[in-house]
Amino acid sequence: MNPKIKEALEWVYCIIIAVVLALLFRYFIGTPTIVKQVSMYPTLEQNQRLWLNRWTRTTKTLPKRGQIITFEAPTEKSFTSSEIDNDHPVAKYENEPTNIFGKFVKYVLEIGKESYIKRVIALPGEHVEIKEGKVFINGEELDEPYLQSGVVTDVVGTGFSDFIVPENTVFAMGDNRTHSTDCRVFGCIPLEKIESTVAIRIWPLNKWGKVE
């Protein structure tokens, strides 16, 4: 084989291996991301950079209350009053890819996939009530020190306000309650749709560190 062709092929192999390793690391271990919305203000602000821990997805570990997670956005963002089922308050995911290539493009390359970032409020088996502008878990008011003073938690229009979190799901909301599309309107998030937990904020440097 021509030495130049052999050298070129070796470079191609190296590039392919590097890309595969990078994709595997990004999917199974962690990846950076940029905050694009205001739903987690003031905890997170637009254009801040975060490092996401995806090991929780790899190990299929349920996040803890208070952790900030990212998850695949449901296909149904809201329901009519007749569609609200408080006995099964689970977000809907439809039109999922069925072949390997489609799954690879959506879940590994993350092309055509929308994700949300919210805070875990309630865990499986817990009774959630949203009333009087507050959140109650199993009858007790939830202490939420991360909220701005005066923030009111309501369900505007139709939504889930009195239910038990189903098994293998979590109930999550944004800290900026009046500007957050979250589980109040589309239901609890299945464990298999949770992509990561927020590990640290990496930008701006003056706010570098753990996000709580």
pTM of the predicted structure, to 2 decimals:
0.91
Q: What is the pLDDT of residues 3-51, one digit of tens each?
A: 777 777 888 889 999 998 999 999 999 999 999 999 999 999 999 999 9
The DSSP bridge partners found for residue 169 are 190
- Arithmetic mean of pLDDT, 134-158: 93
pLDDT score, position 67: 97
Q: Does the structure show a pLDDT above 90 at 189?
A: yes
pLDDT score, position 135: 97
Residue 164 lies in a domain: yes
Residue 124 lies in a domain: yes
- Residue 38 is part of a domain; what is its CATH number? 2.10.109.10
Residue 136 lies in a domain: yes
Instruction: Give CA–CA dist 74/83, Å, rounded.
Output: 15
Instruction: Give CA–CA dist 183/79, Å, rounded.
Output: 11
SS3 2: coil
Residue 185 lies in a domain: yes
Kind of pairing between the strands at 169-173 and 189-190: antiparallel
pLDDT score, position 168: 96
Neighbours of 6 (CB within 10 A): 10
- Arithmetic mean of pLDDT, 134-163: 93
Q: What is the pLDDT of residues 115-136, one digit of tens each?
A: 999 999 999 999 999 999 999 9
Residue 39 lies in a domain: yes
- Comparing CA positions, the residue from 116, 125, 121 lying closest to residue 195 is 116
- Arithmetic mean of pLDDT, 38-66: 95
The DSSP bridge partners found for residue 90 are 188
User: How does DSSP assign 66-117, residue by residue?
Assistant: T-EEEEEPPS-----TTT--TTS-B----S---SHHHHIIIIIS--S--EEE
Instruction: Give CA–CA dist 195/192, Å, rounded.
Output: 8
Instruction: Give CA–CA dist 23/104, Å, rounded.
Output: 11
Using a pLDDT cut of 90, give the percent of the chain over it.
74
Domain that holds residue 199: 30-210
Q: Does the structure show a pLDDT above 90 at 148?
A: yes
Using a pLDDT cut of 70, give the percent of the chain over it.
100
Q: What is the mean pLDDT of the chain?
A: 93
What domain count does the chain have?
1
Residue 96 lies in a domain: yes
